[in-house]
């Protein structure tokens, strides 16, 4: 896959799915930004606190560096989906999705840090409850997307 520059556009939505698994397209985009020639634009999988993509990888039992290698070797998303199916239990994807849709800021490793990172978005949209919705709203705000 080609590297991405996430300074110019955000990764795909948290709600985007690959092979029935939400967050995976976004996670792939973050990993593509780590490839030579890419730019992370500050997007992380695991940093000071575990990102939502980090939670996804934990639930799948996949290490970030292994998935990054798979993304680097892939030519398209479907190659990554096949790689994942060979290493994970796809029958768990629906349950993983359901869990990820319910994660709230208080579930973050450091809720205060999470709220600080997303303060402007949370101030503009105080009714947002779930991390996946907060993250997507933050992308729209940062990149002035409609």
Residue ranges covered by each domain of the chain = 17-103
- State residue 120's pLDDT score: 98
pLDDT at 140 over 80: yes
pLDDT at 146 over 80: no
- State residue 48's pLDDT score: 85
- State residue 46's pLDDT score: 87
Whole-model pTM? 0.96
Q: Over the stretch 69-128, which tens digit does the pLDDT of each residue have?
A: 999 999 999 999 999 999 999 999 999 999 999 999 999 999 999 999 999 999 999 999
- State residue 47's pLDDT score: 86
Q: State the alpha helices, DSSP H only, in the chain.
A: 24-33, 52-60, 64-73, 77-87, 93-102, 111-117, 119-124, 131-142
Distance, CA of 121 to CA of 26 (rounded, Å): 19
């Amino acid at each position: 896959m080609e590297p991405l520059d996430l300074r110019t556009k955000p990764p795909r939505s948290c709600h985007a799915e690959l092979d029935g698994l939400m967050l995976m397209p976004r996670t792939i985009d973050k990993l593509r930004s780590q490839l030579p020639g890419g730019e992370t634009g500050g997007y992380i999988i695991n940093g000071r606190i575990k990102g939502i993509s980090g939670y996804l990888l934990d639930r799948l039992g996949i290490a970030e560096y292994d998935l990054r290698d798979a993304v680097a070797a892939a030519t398209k998303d479907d190659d990554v989906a096949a790689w994942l199916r060979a290493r994970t239990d796809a029958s768990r994807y629906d349950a993983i999705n359901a869990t990820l849709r319910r994660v709230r800021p208080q579930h973050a490793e450091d809720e205060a840090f999470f709220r600080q990172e997303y303060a402007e978005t949370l101030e503009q949209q105080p009714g947002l409850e779930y991390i996946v919705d907060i993250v997507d709203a933050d992308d729209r705000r940062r990149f002035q997307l409609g």
